[in-house]
Amino acid sequence: MVLLLDSKGRRYLVNLQSGKEFHSHSGVITHDEIIGAAEGSSMRSTHGGTYTVLRATMADFILKMPRGAQVIYPKDIAPLLVMADIAPGVRVFESGVGSGALSMAMLRCGAEIVGYELREDFANRARSNVERFLGPEALDRYDVTIGDSYEGIAEEDLDRVVLDLPEPWRVVPHAAEALRPGGIIAGYSPSITQVIRFREALEATGCFTLVETIEVLHRGWYVDGAAVRPDHRMVAHTGFLTSSRRLA
């Protein structure tokens, strides 16, 4: 999988296959021209368009991958990985798998994931996206089943519970039973009213401590010689991130 960057900064995600071609308004580039080239090479299309070829990052893939549900964006995935302390060998229960964006990030950190998803088409798409970007071996650590975490969590002695659901507070009592002492629950919520109910549920159990909620704002800067200023546009609110630790 490569990223083609044209002269205007437009990005195209391409799966390279021998004998195939990339077509755009600027003409054609054969995949065979790209295969074996050094990363960062410049390619010219049949109509004279110039493209820079780079390996696609996970952020590139997440923003362009097939999706059904709205994905968690890279700006929120990165701090969520730290808040949930995702690391190799960590056993994670994930509910609200969606298109698999957060799953990919946790799997690449070395986690082992059991996921519940209500919709079979979403579960299949998540598996497909994980396999496409991380390879089929990642599926050995990715067990997604059709299930409803509002009704309960069958797994025990989990290290982490990660939620991207409309009503995460309904999972809190089940997470309190499924998490090991010291384990972490973390959730992504678009609305502050969801956060309030989530936190109220955590506090009501008496089983959680160190409850924290943050919001990440992403502002780029325009830098051109002495002309330096914040970009006119920024990625402001997307969602709130909440985490807490399970007491003994």
- Taking residues 155-171, report their average pLDDT: 97
Q: Per the structure, how many domains does the chain have? A: 2
Cβ count within 10 A of residue 1: 13
> With the C-alpha atoms ordered 9, 11, 12, 14, is the resulting torsion angle positive or negative?
positive
> Do 78 and 165 belong to one domain?
yes
Range of the domain at 150: 65-246
Task: For the chain, count helices (H), then strands (E).
Answer: 7, 15
Let me know whether 88 and 151 are in one domain: yes
Given a cut of 90, is residue 66 above it in pLDDT? no
165 sits in the region (left: phi over 0; alpha: psi -120 to 50; else beta) called beta
- Same-domain check for residues 79 and 111: yes
CB within 8 Å of 195: residues ≥ 6 apart: 189, 213, 240, 242
Phi first, then psi, for residue 202 (nearest 5°) are: -60, -45
pLDDT digits (tens, 9 = 90+) for 104-123: 999 999 999 999 999 999 99
Nearest to 96 by CA among 195, 187, 200, 215: 187
Q: Are residues 186 and 117 in the same domain?
A: yes
What residues pair up with 241 in beta bridges, in sequence order? 188, 214
* pLDDT of 63 over the 90 cut: no
Looking at the fold, whether 120 and 231 belong to one and the same domain comes out as: yes
CA distance 80 to 96: 15
Report how far residue 143's alpha carbon sits from residue 113's, in angstroms, rounded to the nearest whole number.
6
Instruction: Yes or no: say if 127 and 142 are a contact pair by the CB < 8 Å rule.
Output: yes
Say yes or no: 88 and 32 in one domain.
Answer: no
**Residue 146 pLDDT > 90, yes or no?**
yes
- Stretch 52-63: mean pLDDT: 92
Task: Say how far apart CA 53 and CA 34 lie, in whole Å.
Answer: 8
CATH number, position 133? 3.40.50.150
pLDDT at residue 69 above 80?
no
Same domain for 218 and 172: yes
**Pairwise CA distance, residues 71 & 80, whole Å:** 14
Q: Which of 32, 56, 80 is the last residue of a domain?
A: 56
Polymer length of the chain: 248
